[in-house]
């Protein structure tokens, strides 16, 4: 699994002209799933996201987690995170998992993250054409890949 976390002041996702989810201070997370991913990857990412300390403490040092600041999370599925661009100029997404693998893992990630935070997680709609808006706070952007755990 591969995620891009952006610390945001606010973020939203709109589908067919209707705002599906919107958050204030927290994380916008883009998530891509590949064929080899498992529930172990989901659990590892949830632990990393919840423990990540990128919010400022009283001294202006990034020392607080999403839990410490009672932040919100919006998770958007993004198969294009697995783009292959080695040959030519048109990317290929052969490494991205098919729906029967990616949908359950995406939903598990959202559910487990919601449980860990103790509040609902905003989502987009898997496979839909979405418009995502955000104000990146910092900017702070972190990329994580479960294939690079060590």
Q: Which residues are catalytic?
A: 78-80
Q: Which of 91, 96, 94 is nearest to 79 (CA)?
A: 96
In terms of phi and psi (left: phi > 0; alpha: psi -120 to 50; beta: otherwise), the region of 138 is left
Q: Cis peptide before 83, with omega less than 30 degrees from 0? A: no
């Amino acid at each position: 699994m591969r995620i891009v976390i952006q610390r945001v002041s606010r973020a939203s996702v709109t589908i067919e002209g209707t705002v599906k989810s919107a958050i204030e201070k927290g994380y916008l997370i883009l998530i891509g799933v590949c064929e080899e991913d498992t529930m172990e990857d989901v659990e590892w990412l949830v632990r990393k996201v919840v423990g990540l300390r990128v919010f400022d403490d009283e001294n202006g040092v990034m020392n607080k987690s999403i839990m410490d600041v009672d932040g919100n999370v919006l998770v958007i599925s993004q198969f294009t995170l697995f783009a292959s661009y080695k040959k030519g100029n048109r990317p290929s997404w052969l490494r991205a998992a098919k729906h029967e693998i990616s949908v359950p893992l995406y939903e598990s990630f959202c559910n487990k993250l919601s449980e860990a935070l103790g509040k609902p997680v905003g989502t987009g709609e898997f496979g839909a054409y979405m418009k995502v808006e955000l104000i990146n706070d910092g900017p702070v952007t972190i990329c994580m890949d479960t294939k690079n755990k060590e």
